[in-house]
Chain A
């Protein structure tokens, strides 16, 4: 799995690509902790390139969500493919991690 991070106006976007499992989940968590540590606590995880997520991947998203909120920010997800949306629904996480259509608009006023 690859993780790329880009800075935007007021938030950062993380794009994990490939399979987000126990092997790769620590990478995502590290990327978010790094952003929060450097003062960016509004984070979008763009899942368009995440072809598969398991419970470890979900756990890293929940841990990252808590880390951003603790720092006064928030974590939002965007562009989740069907497999990811299915797993979010099965775990009842589709409300706490609501999927936004695009990373660019995930922090727009609702």
Chain B
């Protein structure tokens, strides 16, 4: 299994539903090139998909700007795998510390709770004037 100490990939794509499939493909290629385990890939696949679905469903443009781009950055080192997702939409009203798994009969609202459940670190930061950055971290289990 290839295990380069650090590998990174950056890709920008339009913030539309098609980016879910595209990002999943980018992630799978990155995982293969960086020697991620099947478990690491599965967890990131789910968490990244939920973040992107959240952007597709809820992102509002700033002013009258057209629907923006989303930039994805993937990096893997010996200790952690990091994925950041940035958009230029209005700052999302998200409080990850208040996220919990909804009741059995709910038909929505599980996305961020699922991402929290599979990640070792998960943060959302809003930038003044617009823009969101989501940071997804997996700690690598060695031994």
Contacts and interface: CB of A to CB of B under 8 A. Distances in A.
Interface centre among B42, B53, B110 (most CB of A within 10 A): B110
Interface residues on B, range: 20 to 34
Interface in B97-117: 101, 104-111, 113-114, 117
A19 B114 contact: no
Contact of A91 (B18, B56, B110): B110
A25 to B, nearest CB: 10
Interface string A62-106: 110010000000000000000100110011110110000000000
Given A23-B17, A90-B114, A90-B118, A59 B49 contact: no
Nearest to B117: A90
A54 B104 contact: no
Contacts of B50: 54-55
Nearest to A96: B104
B1 interface: no
Nearest to B17: A23
B24 interface: yes
Contacts of A21: 20, 49, 53
A66 B105 contact: yes
A58 interface: yes
Interface residues on A, range: 20 to 34
Interface centre among A23, A55, A59, A95 (most CB of B within 10 A): A55
Contacts of B139: none
Interface of B: 17-18, 20-21, 24, 42, 45-46, 49-50, 53, 56-57, 101, 104-111, 113-114, 117-118
Interface of A: 19, 21-23, 52, 54-56, 58-60, 62-63, 66, 83, 86-87, 90-93, 95-96
Given A52-B49, A54-B46, A83-B46, 7 more contacts: A23-B20, A23-B21, A54-B49, A54-B111, A55-B111, A58-B110, A90-B117
12 contacts: A19-B21, A21-B49, A21-B53, A22-B17, A22-B57, A52-B24, A54-B46, A54-B114, A55-B53, A66-B107, A90-B117, A95-B104
